[in-house]
């Protein structure tokens, strides 16, 4: 929806943490979400730095994508600036969110990567994984098989093929970890082989964010006003200190 988030400061999402309002009018996604929610700005270098009202798994996955995405892909995350504050929920819900991020990463991000490495059977097993444990198990098997391909290629001196197989093994190894931040690392690794991985990863984040408590409704205009107020306050403090 072009222009939907234009009122948010003409904001840009940038990789890494930035002093508010950041160079070129931007910060990382979680820092933008903090200010958009009307909370005092804070530097976010990991999901542990987020306010307690942020869902840990959602914030970790969003931050991982934010820092890894190319500039042309990162605007896909703008909608989540308004969906993180107030999303924290019970341990059971947060565990379900983590499970969704990991399981769907295995089912939807790994198969195209494995197919490109000639591991079609492993790709099919990933797509067929119906629960978290099955997904983790097949991803580990895929990582081992890709690692074996890399080792064999090294012995034959086919270095490019070996490097490709090693990268596939790494993607599968990340995907096999039951951790939201590592699931984002798996998306980054998959994107080396399949550019569509970024859009799919954002879709997976959207689905996980619909589990459990939703962030309070906030329009882009309201978020923009809060960000402008935060910038004005920063200018007043700077003038007072001068």
Other beta carbons within 10 angstroms of residue 177's beta carbon come to 17
Average pLDDT value for residue range 39-53: 79
Quickly state the pLDDT bin for 8 (edges 50, 70, 90).
Answer: very low
Return the bridge partners of 27, or none.
13
What is the pLDDT at residue 6?
Answer: 44
- 3-state SS, residue 10: coil
Quickly state the pLDDT bin for 9 (edges 50, 70, 90).
Answer: very low
What's this model's pTM, rounded to 2 decimal places? 0.83
Which of 99-113, 139-153, 225-239 is the least confident region?
225-239
Q: Is 186 exposed, middle or buried (0-12, 13-18, 19+ CB in 10 A)?
A: buried
Which of 99-103, 109-113, 136-140, 218-222 is the least confident region?
218-222
């Amino acid at each position: 929806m072009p222009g939907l988030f234009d009122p948010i400061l003409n904001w840009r999402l940038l990789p890494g943490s930035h002093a508010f309002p950041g160079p070129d009018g931007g910060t990382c996604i979680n820092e933008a979400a903090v200010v958009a929610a009307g909370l005092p700005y804070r530097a976010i270098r990991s999901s542990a730095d987020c306010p307690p009202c942020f869902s840990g798994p959602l914030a970790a996955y969003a931050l991982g994508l934010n820092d890894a995405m190319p500039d042309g892909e990162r605007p896909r995350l703008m909608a989540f600036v308004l969906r993180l504050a107030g999303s924290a929920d019970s341990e059971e819900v947060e565990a379900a969110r983590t499970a969704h991020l990991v399981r769907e990463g295995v089912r939807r991000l790994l198969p195209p990567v494995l197919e490109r490495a000639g591991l079609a059977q492993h790709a099919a097993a990933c797509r067929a994984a119906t629960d978290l444990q099955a997904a983790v198990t097949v991803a580990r098997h895929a990582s081992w098989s890709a690692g074996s391909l890399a080792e064999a290629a090294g012995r034959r001196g086919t270095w490019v093929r070996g490097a490709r197989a090693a990268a596939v093994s790494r993607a599968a190894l990340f995907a096999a970890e039951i951790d939201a931040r590592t699931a984002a690392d798996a998306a980054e690794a998959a994107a080396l082989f399949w550019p569509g991985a970024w859009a799919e990863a954002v879709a997976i984040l959207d689905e996980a964010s619909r589990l459990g408590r939703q962030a309070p409704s906030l329009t882009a205009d309201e978020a923009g006003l809060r960000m402008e107020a935060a910038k004005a306050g920063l200018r007043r403090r700077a003038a007072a200190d001068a």
